[in-house]
Structure formats: C-alpha cells, structure tokens
Amino acid sequence: MSRSTFLQTEPVGNAIVAEILCEQMGERETQIIQDEISAAAEPVGWRLAIDLSNVTFMPSAGLGMLVAIHNSAKLSKGKVAVFGVADDLMMMLKVTHLDKLFAIKPTREAAIKAVS
C-alpha cells in the first residue's frame, strides 16, 4: 500500500485500487494524483479501480485528469473502473458523457472484478 496526501493505492490481485483522498481537486491536486496513479497503474498493465467516495466536487481539472487516465489505460489495453461516486458527481459525469468512458460500479469488489 502506498499513501500520499492526495492518494492511497493498494494492489489487489492483478489490479490497483486508487483511493482519492481529497474532497475537492484543483489543478495542483489533479496533476499530483494523475502522476501517482500512472506510477501505480503502469506496472499492472493499467488495471485500475478508482475510489471516488471522498470526492465531493470535481472541477474541469479533475474531469480532465479522468480523461487522461482513461486515455493512458486505453493505450496500454488496460481497464479503468470507478466506484464510490456521489450523486452530484454522477450527475456531472452524465452531463459530460464521461459515464460512457468508465465502468461505474456500485462497490469496490465490483470495480476490481471489472478490471481484473
């Protein structure tokens, strides 16, 4: 398990679970989180489950980070699933059509299964 100010990662089987620890993600946080997720996800072939349960607000920088993570995973033939998505955040993902990019799962276990 690896933990920083903004992210905690944990290997689970052949995947990585990345828990975003901050409630709101600005420019500074998103770049750090993206770099840390990339460092953790590359060794496992981008099989990544992202826990958004702590996130209450995600501005455009956070949405852009999710798109960049998706693109990196796609290039590596990996998979990304998200879970712990609050209702307000889910609405934002739907409005921006990012709900079509990710497997959005109701539980940690379902997200891990989707990427393994």
Taking CA atoms, 18 is separated from 42, 63, 95, 107, in Å, by: 13, 16, 24, 13
Secondary-structure class of domain 2-111 per CATH: alpha beta
- Write down the H helix ranges in 1-116: 27-41, 60-75, 87-95, 108-115
Residue 85's pLDDT is what? 97
- Quick one: pLDDT band at residue 33, thresholds 50, 70, 90? very high
- 3-state class of 74 per DSSP? helix
Quick one: pLDDT at residue 25? 87
Cα distance between residue 31 and residue 83, in whole Å? 21
pTM above 0.85, yes or no: yes
Please report the pLDDT score of residue 115 as a whole number: 98
| Distance between CA atoms of residues 8 and 6, nearest Å | 7
Does the structure show a pLDDT above 80 at 89? yes
Confidence of residue 84 (pLDDT cuts 50, 70, 90): very high
Residue 2 has pLDDT above 80, yes or no: no
Distance in angstroms (rounded) separating the CA atoms of residues 26 and 42 = 24
